[in-house]
Structure 1
Amino acid sequence: MMSGTMQAETTLVSLGDLFGLEAIRGLRYGVPPRPTQQDIEDLVPTPDPAYVFTLDEVRRLILWEGGEVGRNLMIGGPTGCGKSSLIEQFCARLNRPLYRFACHGGMLFTDLTGQMTIRADGSTGFVYGPLPRAMREGAVLLLDEGNMAPPKVVGALNTVLDDGPLFLPETGELIQPSPRFRVVATGNAISHGMDAVHYRGTERQNIAYLLRYLQFQTSYKTATEEAAILHRAVPGLPGKVIGLIAEFAHEVRSGFLEGSSPVPVPTRVTRKWAAVLHTRAKALRNDPVNEMLFGLKFVLTDGLQADHAKAIEGTLSRMIDKLTLTDEDFKTGVGIPATIPAQEDPTMELVVLLNPNRGGKNEIRVWVLGSCDRTGKTFTASAGITPFTPFVPKEDISRQDAMIALQQKLNQRGYVHCLDVKLGPSVGIEAARRATDAFTKAVAGAKPVAVSSPAVRDIVSALCKASGTQVELVMN
């Protein structure tokens, strides 16, 4: 007989902190602790710090997870757009155990429910499948490519999808669903519409089955979202290379959706590609065009038909034909850690972070932590580059609170480490605040940028040099 799990009390946590979205920072949601039972705890996915959520994704998933509007969710979208990884990362943030089952045309309903097997000692016993385990444990059951399953199998799920019990004839048990039990099915051609031509093996699902699910149609990440993911996943790769990968992926995906490209370029491929380039950084610096082509072949096109590979590689070749890289590209740039050499007896330190897609709205934000050893004062400040908004400082906060805020920004809120600046004893905290404000204006494209003192001018000049920003400074 299966044993159930106790329902732990939840802790209210900011949704903005959980999913890295500023727009919902003020909203709180109850999150349970990680399961203490080892075999169930192992089912909670590992968070991917590079993952980027959108506001629409979180809004829909929270409604589904809450269970008040429906406990079953169908996610449709093109191949490689991240349907399953979306659920995995959502469950990781909420400490939700996840059973993932890959559906296929030859599956039986007993693959989900379980079956009698012969034990090592020669006796027979029933091994529970993912469905009864998820029902009893209050876990999430992910049916990968659910529309690959034969209709007779998914039809047998109807009672469970209607919040009913599951009867196991082998054991005589009637499994009642936990209030926390959820079902999510993914599919490339959910309604078997025009895009089904790309996906052989999909089964036409009847309307009664589909109506038992909430519906969510998703697609590929935008170029901006893709770049943000790559910046987090491979922070040492030059910004211009990451930008080209993101733009290339977006163009090929658009062609795939329109029918002019034979295959898409999923995010899992762009991340491998970026990792290959980062590993071969020296070769990339010396011969960026051929190295980018080599990386693409290694992670994707060498496994395709010759004509398909030629078409995709031709798209990349047109985009990178005149690409050049310098040593500075590998030292600085958005998402690239860089350090300005310290002056003698440094007392002021600035840590600069950048969010390339704040709140999923294509807004670029800068966040700065400044600390002064001489005075013991610490401040944080944030500002917008596009659209430009002046710095809003939080002054005289504790160093500990500032470091906690820094880690939250890096781990959850979509920010990437841009550069570190160490400054000499003549620089005060007020000059540092003014300088970071002026630096933001320079990055936003303002010309000229007014500065109030030689100290501010020197800091802005150092920041702009380290980040590759062209600036014209005037004293006011």
Structure 2
Amino acid sequence: MHELASMPSTEPWYQPTGNEVALFEQCHQRRMAVMLKGPTGCGKTRFVEHMAWRLQRPLITIACHDDLAASDLIGRYLIQHNGTVWQDGPLTRAVRQGAICYLDEVVEARQDTVVVLHALSDHRRMLPIDKTGENLEAAPGFQLVVSYNPGYQRMLKDLKPSTRQRFVAMDLDFPSAENEARIVHHESNVDLATARGLVSLAERIRKLRDRGLAEVPSTRLLISAAILIANGIPPREACYAGIVSPLTDEPSMTSALRDLVNGTFV
């Protein structure tokens, strides 16, 4: 489990694509749990970081995975030299502190782990800690936020309806071409014309989703390539390393993507 706890002093830059900021603010004010749905690298994590800063709440981020157990979230007893001591897990700390707790790619966690979120994500706003016998009520400001990629997870696993219906769902997607170019420009300092070229390339590649490409290029990949270009790497080489290679190892697909790169950056 990878956990980060922070409350940034400077604003994490985020380019809204719709009414998501106002919707999230209302959910936070009304103590409602939020589910962010969208493709990999479309800005879900940055959006949560921005909203934590905007709402002035601590943010605890947990990257979910197959081995994530309920005790990893809630806590466990540790044996120390002077006896056995209870140690809160990240979810418990968020509940006590009134933090925003963000579970990234929540469907990667086991179903028996996800079930512990139920009492926190409905009107009870309570975390039962069986090992200590405590029913911990969420402090003011606590909010549960989860994210996942429906397009990817639909083929593998999904959330149970009993879990999904405890959340307000927000559908995020890649920004419009012009907004995405502004994001790439802002995050990498590459010139705007090159940023537009990278977005144009991404739009062409994204059309190959159902033609053998498991994942399409995220805004994050475009920013990586743009950073390389801004620091002197030729555009084609930057795209090969920053976009093509991370997407596929299949020779024919790699060749097709390189052709698209060559056609975009002549």
Q: Same fold (TM over 0.5)?
A: yes
Q: C-alpha separation between the residues in 2 aligned to 1:128 and 1:186?
A: 23
Q: C-alpha separation between the residues in 1 aligned to 2:26 and 2:203?
A: 29
Structure 1 segments unaligned to the other structure (5+ residues): 1-41, 190-194, 285-290, 322-476
CA distance 1:129–1:201, shift in 2 (3 Å): farther
Which residue number in structure 2 is paired with residue 242 of structure 1? 195
C-alpha deviation, 1:205, in angstroms:
2.3
Alignment of 1:234-313 (within 5 A): 234-235=188-189, 237-256=190-209, 258-259=210-211, 261-280=213-232, 291-303=234-246, 304-305=248-249, 306-313=251-258
Deviation string, structure 1 residues 178-204 (Cα, Å, up to 9, x no partner) = 131111110112xxxxx3xx4488433
CA distance 1:123–1:313, shift in 2 (3 Å): farther
Which residue number in structure 2 is paired with residue 55 of structure 1? 18
Is 1:226 aligned with 2:187? no
Question: In structure 2, which of residues 36, 43, 55 is the aligned counterpart of residue 82 of structure 1?
Answer: 43
Is 1:206 aligned with 2:160? yes
Which residue number in structure 2 is paired with residue 365 of structure 1? none
Report the AA paired with residue 20 of structure 2.
E
Report the AA paired with residue 110 of structure 2.
P
C-alpha deviation, 1:123, in angstroms:
3.3
Structure 2 segments unaligned to the other structure (5+ residues): none
Does the aligned pair in 1 maintain the 2:12–2:50 contact within 8 Å?
Answer: no
Report the AA paired with residue 243 of structure 1.
R
Q: What is the Cα-based RMSD across aligned positions, in Å?
A: 2.3
Q: C-alpha separation between the residues in 1 aligned to 2:136 and 2:235?
A: 53
Question: In structure 2, which of residues 37, 56, 63 is the aligned counterpart of residue 102 of structure 1?
Answer: 63
Report the AA paired with residue 133 of structure 1.
R
Q: C-alpha separation between the residues in 1 aligned to 2:129 and 2:214?
A: 45
CA distance 1:63–1:308, shift in 2 (3 Å): farther
Does the aligned pair in 2 maintain the 1:166–1:176 contact within 8 Å?
Answer: yes
Alignment of 1:50-449 (within 5 A): 50-67=13-30, 71-119=32-80, 121=81, 123-164=83-124, 165-189=126-150, 195=151, 198-199=152-153, 202-235=156-189, 237-256=190-209, 258-259=210-211, 261-280=213-232, 291-303=234-246, 304-305=248-249, 306-321=251-266
Does the aligned pair in 2 maintain the 1:138–1:178 contact within 8 Å?
Answer: yes
Deviation string, structure 1 residues 21-77 (Cα, Å, up to 9, x no partner) = xxxxxxxxxxxxxxxxxxxxx62146566531233221221221212xx51111111
Report the AA paired with residue 15 of structure 2.
V
Does the aligned pair in 1 maintain the 2:12–2:53 contact within 8 Å?
Answer: no
Higher relative contact order (CA 8 A, sep 6+): 2
CA distance 1:142–1:159, shift in 2 (3 Å): same
Does the aligned pair in 1 maintain the 2:236–2:265 contact within 8 Å?
Answer: no
CA distance 1:88–1:116, shift in 2 (3 Å): same
C-alpha deviation, 1:106, in angstroms:
2.3
> What is the TM-score normalised by the length of structure 1?
0.50
Q: C-alpha separation between the residues in 1 aligned to 2:218 and 2:157?
A: 23
> What is the TM-score normalised by the length of structure 2?
0.87
C-alpha deviation, 1:97, in angstroms:
0.8
CA distance 1:94–1:253, shift in 2 (3 Å): farther
CA distance 1:298–1:228, shift in 2 (3 Å): same
Does the aligned pair in 1 maintain the 2:177–2:199 contact within 8 Å?
Answer: yes
Which residue number in structure 2 is paired with residue 352 of structure 1? none
CA distance 1:232–1:248, shift in 2 (3 Å): same
CA distance 1:246–1:320, shift in 2 (3 Å): same
Does the aligned pair in 1 maintain the 2:66–2:110 contact within 8 Å?
Answer: yes
Q: C-alpha separation between the residues in 2 aligned to 1:50 and 1:277?
A: 21
Count residues in correspondence: 259
CA distance 1:135–1:259, shift in 2 (3 Å): farther
SS at 2:119 equivalent: helix
